[in-house]
Amino acid sequence: SQKIEQNSEALNIQEGKTATLTCNYTNYSPAYLQWYRQDPGRGPVFLLLIRENEKEKRKERLKVTFDTTLKQSLFHITASQPADSATYLCASWNGGYQKVTFGTGTKLQVIP
Amino acid sequence: EAQVTQNPRYLITVTGKKLTVTCSQNMNHEYMSWYRQDPGLGLRQIYYSMNVEVTDKGDVPEGYKVSRKEKRNFPLILESPSPNQTSLYFCASRTGGGSGELFFGEGSRLTVL
């Protein structure tokens, strides 16, 4: 069955630095990957989507890459701010776009 | 305002007492789904519905039921709750096609004693 792994449970980073989060997938080849942000006690909020034929996608300070050879997506936050502190989830849909699999998330803490 | 509304937000109940968590969306989305979130296990899909009267199991459907009689509503039913169903539950919706961006509710924290 398809599997998504976010290897880092937690990541602490100094304000102003670039945070890099990793999402690895196994046993399948997703057509695209999504990234969500989740604040404590709140529902996840969609951030970005990247398709398998796109190497990189940007939105303001956010950048996502997709490496089908490494079976990996990287999520970058440049010039990180304390307000970026949250848990970040990656997700992908099965081929029929009926079921979605989420990673367990990486909790990012940006230290002032 | 586009939103997914869940109720109740918090509930403490006892084993075996049937309960329903309601979910309603105002975006005219075809697709709706339920998830549970547990520490270390992440978000796991319980049930989903592609449209009215069309529902199917996700990865962890045991102990749950759903129905989709109207497009906007997708209630989650626990016929006989057990302590292992203590969790944080999220409802979400999306349009039928496209990028699959999910819109989530605020969550319902359920404790079964």
Nearest Cα of chain B lies from the Cα of A42 at a distance, in angstroms, of: 5
pLDDT at B98: 61
pLDDT at A81: 97
Q: Would you call the peptide bond into B8 cis, given omega within 30 degrees of 0 as the criterion?
A: yes
**In the predicted structure, residue B106 carries a pLDDT above the cut 80:** yes
Q: Are strands B87-94 and B103-104 parallel, antiparallel or unpaired?
A: antiparallel
Which of B42, B101, B103 is facing A104, going by the closest CB pair? B42
More confident residue, B108 or B42: B108
Neighboring chain B residues of A104 at a CB cutoff of 8 Å = 40-42
Which pLDDT does position B96 carry in this prediction? 65
Is the CB of residue A38 less than 8 Å from the CB of residue A45? yes
pLDDT tens sequence across B20-55? 999 999 999 999 999 999 998 989 999 999 999 999
Q: A16 vs chain B: nearest CA distance in angstroms?
A: 28
CA–CA dist B107, B5 (Å, integer): 9
Of A93, A98, A104, Cβ closest to residue B41: A104
Q: So what's the pLDDT on residue B58?
A: 93
Is B99 close to A49, i.e. CB distance below 8 A? yes
Residues of chain A with pLDDT under 50: none
Q: Beta strand A106-111 with A10-14: parallel, antiparallel or unpaired? A: parallel
With CB atoms and an 8 Å threshold, state whether B48 touches A104: no
**How confident is the model at residue B27, as a pLDDT?**
94
Tell me which chain B residue has its CA closest to the CA of residue A47. Answer: B101
Residue B97's pLDDT is what? Answer: 65
Of chain B, the percentage scoring pLDDT greater than 90 comes to 88
pLDDT of residue B5: 98
pLDDT of A93: 82
Looking at residue A40, its pLDDT comes to 92
Average pLDDT in chain B: 94
